[in-house]
Amino acid sequence: MIVSWQLLNRFVDLPVSPEEAAARLTMSGAEVESIERPGESISGVVAARVQSLGRHPSRENLFVAEVDTGKGKAVCVTAATNLKAGDRVFYGAPGAVLPAGAGPDRAGPSGKMELGVRDFGEVRSEGMMLSAEELGLPGVDIEEGILVLPGDAPIGADARALCGIGDVLLDVSVTPNRGDLLSILGMARELKGLYPDAVLKPMPWEKSAPGTGDWPVPFGAISLPDDGCLNYHLGLATNVRIGPSPVEIRVALSRLGMRPISNVVDATNYVMLLLGQPLHAFDLNTLPEREITVRRAFEGETIVTLDGKERVLTSKDMLITSGREAPGGRPTEPIALAGIMGGKQTGINDDTDIVVLEGASFSPRRVGHTSRRLSIASEAAFRYSRGVDPALSALGVDYALSLMAEWSGAEIGCRKLSAYNVQPEPQPVVLTKKKLQTYLLWSDMEESTRILEGYAVRRVKEKEAGKTGKGGEDARVFLPPTWRPDIAIEEDLIEEIGRYRGYDAAPVRMPGVLPRRGDIGPETSLAGSLRACAIARGYVEAITYSFLPESFVSALRLPGSDPRAHPLSLENPISQEWTAMRTTLVPGLLNGLRESVASGWRGPVRLFEIGRVFLRGPAGPSEPAGQSGPEGHGEPDVMAGLVCGGTDPRSPWPETRDDFLSVKADVEAFLRARGVGAVFARGAEPFGHRGQTADILSERKKHEKNEKNEKSGKIGYLARLSPAIERELGFTEPVYVFELYLTALESPDRPVYAAAPPFPAAFRDISMLVPNAVTQAEVLAEIQALVSERFASDSAVGGFSDSAAGGFLESVKLFDLYSGKGIPAGYRSMAFSLSYRASGRTLNDEEVDRIHNAVRDTLTQRGYNMR
Amino acid sequence: MSDLKTQVEEVRGSFNSAIESVPTTDALQELRVRYLGKKGVLTSLLKSLGGLPPEERPLAGETLNSLRDELEKKFESRKLALLGAENEAAEATDWVDVTLPSRGRPWGAFHPVAQTMHEIVSIMQGLGYSVVLGPEIEEDYYNFECLNMPSWHPARDMQDTFYFPDFPDADAGSGAADTAPGAPGAEKSSKRRLLRTHTSPVEIRAMRRYGAPLRIVCPGKVYRRDNDPTHSPMFNQLEGLLVDEGVSFSVLKGSLIELMNGFFGRELKSRFRASYFPFTEPSMELDIECVECGGKNPNCRICKGTGWLEVCGMGMTHPFVIRAGGIDPEKYNGFAFGMGLDRMAMLKYGINDLRYLFNGNVSYFLSGRDA
């Protein structure tokens, strides 16, 4: 809200400068965002009187005026047609400076405009007479041309001293709890509270006596069946002549951000800015009935508001209507959306001569509800939804009527018509020394009382408050004023005291020791160790938007049977690119790759992101227990990665290029960082390369002896993107992506340590031809299985007493892989190194050969071609 | 005898001049053979001792033996010197251009916002705060109503919200426990699904789950329907909550000053301004001294010349909220604070433009170091 320092000083005598007051307001809760002195950009402009006015001798459409500037006479040329001799105007002599951007196409290099002498044919114009726009006051002119001043404007006076042009404006950010501060009056009261030496002045309405006469036109009752209207007053102004309001008022409205309209409308707006009380003026002759009913709207009822829009209403909305409700009768006619905006039909127009002025008090809750639902941000709705002092509505009507009388010659002698519902009364609030001490570590009850009374929060006797004391002087009872509904509980009183004293005054203390340590939590600590590992392996961490365009489903070829194909869609997305919640992190990373390439990055791209995906359906087992939210969806944590060789793969070290198996090593490392072994199996993803996609299964070590390692289900995948998708996205290099569902990794496995084996191992190799359809893992598994099956119980071959479940075969490892020359088509040559070891002795060559040969023979029997 | 002496001098002289000019260890070895080998000069002199009169032999033998020791010594020291030089020369030939680009992968890069989150969380852990997370898709009830922001509340104007159409099975399950304390019967709208607009709903979930005393921080993504150069529709917050008996605002000050000083790595001036949030009473905001100019630059791009940066909203938890968390506000009170992690990251790492944070551009994140 913009606060005029000049208007403020009509309400309160302040002992400080605008800057000091702004600093104090900022620290105590009403942040002043800027202090402007718009008049400072004007200099050399004075009030002057038009002595004579005549046509230019040779140029059509121009006039020559002689003006009395107070220091002498000056001649200036103007094209304006609104002047007559005797008018007082603002005159800028040569050398005068006007605000930047004020005049069309005449601004100098500094942005400001300096006036000079200019020849119009044979007439030399010394400076010029000014329009309001040229003075930086848009909307203040009532007609095209020069701004005409009141007849008593002192000739020769500097413009900055006139009509509020030299005002200081404070832009204050008012918090939603302080509706009372949305007025000059409220600001004056606030500053009075902050500065005990400040003196409040008599209020302007104290001069205006309310009328007492009867209405010259018959007007029926006001009824308030909707209790969202607390009180309702109607005042009457007759013989109104619609016209402009005084220059000074128009300047004030313009400076405070409102457009001057007419003397009647300006009066209502001016009173709203000063007092914070919204008012609404109806043209009496446009009201369908001369009765008012404030009622709830019917479902689906409509009203066309002043802005010309048709509003469809619900029973939660409140209407001002014309007419009286009768059982079975037709509904009363809506004339305004209560507290928000008037109806188009009943507003003030140029011919209005009888004004019915409404001042009312509405429930913040009801106005807030309707204005939010309909997205109407009117000045009235803004104030009502933040709370308007219910005591102001009648005063506001009286004050505005007196202004209309002054500005439009209206007659205002009639009494107000009023109706009331149950009024909310301020409730007493107890302040205890104990709580004050707890909160602020300070508890001077005397000083606190002085502070509160400065804010007009009155100390009352317990009896008066109807409360039983909590303990003598250690508890005092206070009654907030009607304009402070935000003060309702003890903490509110503590806030008043705290902000007056300033929170910097409070001492600094550290939290005490708890009986337990701070726990970083499984998700955060998991993310911490994974990201450390990924960054060490050359990955760049990304955070991408949780929203995706719905089209990601088809871009990734996700079939209807895939849960990821049914994202949660937003009801009110902000952009077509962000309509659905992501079900996979891959599109975000692909976008990161695209952005990187687009911004000129040519090297390898390795990205990872740890974040949530959003899946429909009941929260599955992948949902971490600690964050269970609303039912109907799950938010599992996922780590995703993307690797692409880049558009410029050239490197002095070609062997370091990423490929499927190097990314596999990364994924294994991430899992290993959590003590989890990974098993990669041939798999399928809808967006994966048919031949280069792996399911990732986790394998956890069991700590108990003789327990087999436990293989879990699928915890993720690693895939090269399908070449068709790579082409669609414009990537010329293979793109590898992986996703790991993190719940499976939350509790890390402890590694199991063992002493170095005391007896040496013996090594034997096997080289064999394997059909392409058979994977390395399958061959490996076959060798291991056959050793454990065949030699566990076969004493004919083994026959060693310490042989337990094929215990001699320590490991099998692929050490060579070859296909091409010398190998039949459709086959790969795989060479494995087998290591044999006994736990209690050194195996001799003969035993090892016997076992090894049996392994070879068995494999041959199973159809493998040994080499 | 004098003959022998002359011979010894000759041998010594010629050996000395020869060994000085020997260029390599191989040549040195040849020299050794020539003087000390089986058929070497010195060996033949020793052999000639037999031809001397017996009384001269001991002295002559001594003389020759000491010559042999002397030559051996010189030989060894010359050998060491030559070896050193040869090794040096060999290493100089076997050189690596240490300025070549390294092989293997370079270090990656952290995301400044994630880094900020992890740093702050670990600072707060040191003050006894535990991390608690909550859902990003929330119910109106937790996001607003439990936090003293009913549907008509003007504070909602500041948090333009993303909503979801009703879930097919949204109304199944939980019921009675979700009636807002103090509210006369929860309205149907309260189960409406939305993207949380702040991390504050985690306060309610944590209080209900863990009770008091409680000391937590809740980092996470939040969403508001804004998109302009200074607002992203998705951003990151960190919420803090402490509930205990007799909690003072001073402890909130202590926690936050420690957080800021820890995060920025130095003692920062700070000030606490009165403010307003529906879920705290009293409410404040924390300003820290401008980390860019320290308040010395009237044209500072970061603080706009004010010298202060607004970094954190906070307050003493409203009794309504404590009660909504299932905790007795007559017995317990507390405080809460909330800050933008993106803003903290931008301040610490000098990032000017919010838009780069969430587009995953590698070159941007690597720009924090020499590429």
Please spell the DSSP secondary structure of A755-799, one letter per residue: PPPSS--EEEEEEEEEETTS-HHHHHHHHHHHHHHHHHH-TTTT-
- Counting one residue from chain A and one from chain B, the pairs whose CB atoms sit within 8 A come to 310
Identify the CATH number of the domain defined by range A522-745: 3.30.930.10
Smallest Cα distance from B32 to chain A, Å: 47
**CB contacts, 8 Å: B136 with chain A:** 546, 612, 614, 629, 635
Cβ distance A29 to B319 less than 8 Å, yes or no, reads: no
- Ramachandran region of residue A521, left (φ > 0), alpha (ψ -120 to 50) or beta? left
Cβ distance A629 to B127 less than 8 Å, yes or no, reads: no
Mean pLDDT in residue range A798-803: 42
CB-based contact, B227 to chain A, within 8 Å: yes
Distant-in-sequence, close-in-space partners of A688: CB < 8 Å, separation ≥ 6: A717, A719, A720, A721, A722
Amino acid (1-letter code) at residue A477: V
Q: Is the pLDDT of residue A327 over 70?
A: yes
Q: Is the pLDDT of residue A803 over 50?
A: no
Amino acid (1-letter code) at residue B155: A
Smallest Cα distance from A638 to chain B, Å: 14
Distance CA A576, CA A674 (A): 39
Cβ distance B365 to A542 less than 8 Å, yes or no, reads: yes
CB-based contact, B269 to chain A, within 8 Å: no
pLDDT of residue B189: 52
Q: Is the pLDDT of residue A287 over 80?
A: yes
**Residue A101's Cα: distance from chain center in Å?**
33
Q: Is the pLDDT of residue A628 over 70?
A: no
Mean pLDDT in residue range A208-231: 90
pLDDT of residue A116: 87
3-state secondary structure labels for all residues of A343-376: ECCCCCCCCCCCEEEEEEEECHHHHHHHHHHHCC
Nearest CA in chain B to A487: B281
User: Which band of pLDDT confidence, cut at 50, 70 and 90, is reported for residue A653?
Assistant: confident
Smallest Cα distance from A753 to chain B, Å: 30
- Ramachandran region of residue A567, left (φ > 0), alpha (ψ -120 to 50) or beta? beta
Smallest Cα distance from B312 to chain A, Å: 14
Domain A39-161: homologous superfamily in CATH: Nucleic acid-binding proteins (2.40.50.140)
CB-based contact, B349 to chain A, within 8 Å: no
**CB contacts, 8 Å: B275 with chain A:** 29, 31, 175
CA dihedral A812, A816, A819, A821 (to 10 degrees): -130
pLDDT of residue A654: 75
Mean pLDDT in residue range A749-759: 82
**Residues of chain B with confidence (pLDDT) below 50:** 168-188, 370-371
Identify the CATH number of the domain defined by range A222-420: 3.50.40.10
Identify the CATH number of the domain defined by range B112-366: 3.30.930.10
Nearest CA in chain B to A547: B234
CB-based contact, A285 to chain B, within 8 Å: no
Q: Is the pLDDT of residue A43 over 80?
A: yes
Nearest CA in chain A to B259: A510
pLDDT of residue B256: 97
- The count of C-alpha atoms lying within 13 angstroms of the C-alpha of A410, restricted to the half-sphere facing its C-beta, is 30
Domain ranges of chain A: 2-37+168-201, 39-161, 222-420, 429-503, 522-745, 762-866
Cβ distance B225 to A572 less than 8 Å, yes or no, reads: yes
Amino acid (1-letter code) at residue A90: F
pLDDT of residue A623: 42
Cβ distance B250 to A507 less than 8 Å, yes or no, reads: yes
Q: Which residue has the tokens 């009169």?
A: B53
pLDDT of residue B325: 96
Q: Is the pLDDT of residue A482 over 50?
A: yes
pLDDT of residue A498: 97
Task: Compare CB distances from A630 to B139, B213, B242 and report the shortest one's residue.
Answer: B139
Q: Is the pLDDT of residue A75 over 70?
A: yes
**CB contacts, 8 Å: B250 with chain A:** 441, 506-509
CB-based contact, A506 to chain B, within 8 Å: yes
Tokens representing A384?
């009502």
Residue pair A39/A60 in contact by the 8 Å Cβ criterion = no
Which of B98, B107, B133 to mutate to test binding with chain A, by most A CBs within 10 Å of its CB? B133
- For residue range A3-31, list pLDDT tens digits in order: 999 999 999 999 999 999 999 999 999 99
Distance CA A374, CA A174 (A): 23
Cβ distance A571 to B165 less than 8 Å, yes or no, reads: yes
Domain A762-866: homologous superfamily in CATH: Ferrodoxin-fold anticodon-binding domain (3.30.70.380)
Q: Is the pLDDT of residue A701 over 70?
A: no
pLDDT of residue A847: 85
CB-based contact, B178 to chain A, within 8 Å: no
A263 compared with A788, residue with greater pLDDT? A263
Distant-in-sequence, close-in-space partners of A147: CB < 8 Å, separation ≥ 6: A89, A90, A130, A131, A132, A135, A137, A140, A141, A247
pLDDT of residue B43: 86
Beta-carbon count within 10 A of B14 CB: 13
Q: What is the ipTM of this complex?
A: 0.89
From 3.30.56.10, 1.10.150.120, 3.30.9.10, 3.90.1150.10, which CATH number describes the A2-37+168-201 domain? 3.30.56.10
Task: Compare CB distances from B284 to A503, A511, A652 and report the shortest one's residue.
Answer: A503
User: Which band of pLDDT confidence, cut at 50, 70 and 90, is reported for residue A202?
Assistant: confident
Distance CA B331, CA A493 (A): 19
Omega of the bond leading into A515 within 30 degrees of 0 (cis): no
Distance CA A24, CA A454 (A): 15
Which H/E stretch holds residue B323? helix B319-324
pLDDT of residue A467: 57
Question: A429-503, what's its fold?
Answer: Phenylalanyl-tRNA Synthetase; Chain B, domain 1 (3.30.56)
pLDDT of residue A805: 35
Nearest CA in chain B to A179: B154
CB-based contact, B321 to chain A, within 8 Å: no
CB-based contact, B284 to chain A, within 8 Å: yes
3-state SS of chain B: helix, strand, coil percent to 5? Answer: 45, 20, 35
CB-based contact, B369 to chain A, within 8 Å: no
User: Which band of pLDDT confidence, cut at 50, 70 and 90, is reported for residue A626?
Assistant: very low
pLDDT of residue B45: 84
- For residue range A811-861, list pLDDT tens digits in order: 899 999 999 898 999 999 999 999 988 888 888 898 888 888 888 888 898
Enumerate residues 44 to 83 of chain B having a beta carbon within 8 A of any beta carbon in chain A: none
Distance CA A400, CA A410 (A): 11
Mean pLDDT in residue range A519-523: 94
